Amino acid sequence: MNPLAGCLLVSALLFAIGLAGAITRRSAILVLAGIELMLSAANLNFIAFWRFGPHPEALTGLIFVIFSIAVAAAEAAVGLALILAIYRHAKTSDVSEIGEMRG
């Protein structure tokens, strides 16, 4: 197994951890944290392919990661603001107790 495969495996494991957290935790904040972990796992893949792939001087993977970090920051800000608004409305941030949208 070479370094590239090592990076990919770490990234896959991190993605699985994030996925497990996002679907098992009841706190909306931790669901968001799990999604952030999955996003970071994807970023690690981009960096690994940039580093070990052909033409690293084209910087494609690196630039993608920088944009991805910016998008993640915006996503976290809006997501957490949503959680705050829901908490103010329903007095809880537990996703299993917020069932108003259920038909």
Partner 1 sequence: MTLPFLILALLTLAGGVAAMTLRRLVHCALALAISFAGLAGLYLNLGAEFAGLAQLLVYVGAIAILIVFVILLTRGGDADPDSSFSPASAGSVVIALAVFAVLAWAVNTSSLAHVATLQPAPPSDKTGTLQIGQALMQHYVLPLEVIGLMLTAAMIGAVILALRDKRIAAEPKDSELRAS
Residues 19-58 that bind partner 1 (CB under 8 A): 19-21, 23-27, 29-30, 32-34, 36-37, 40, 43-44, 47-48, 50-54, 56-57
Handedness of CA 102, 95, 87, 69 (dihedral sign): negative
The verdict on 90 binding partner 1 (CB under 8 A) reads no
Q: Report CA-CA distances (Å) from 103 to 26, 43, 99, 100.
A: 21, 37, 9, 8
How many angstroms separate the most distant Cα atoms in the chain? 53
Nearest to partner 1 of 20, 100 (CB atom): 20
Nearest to partner 1 of 54, 103 (CB atom): 54
The verdict on 98 binding partner 1 (CB under 8 A) reads no
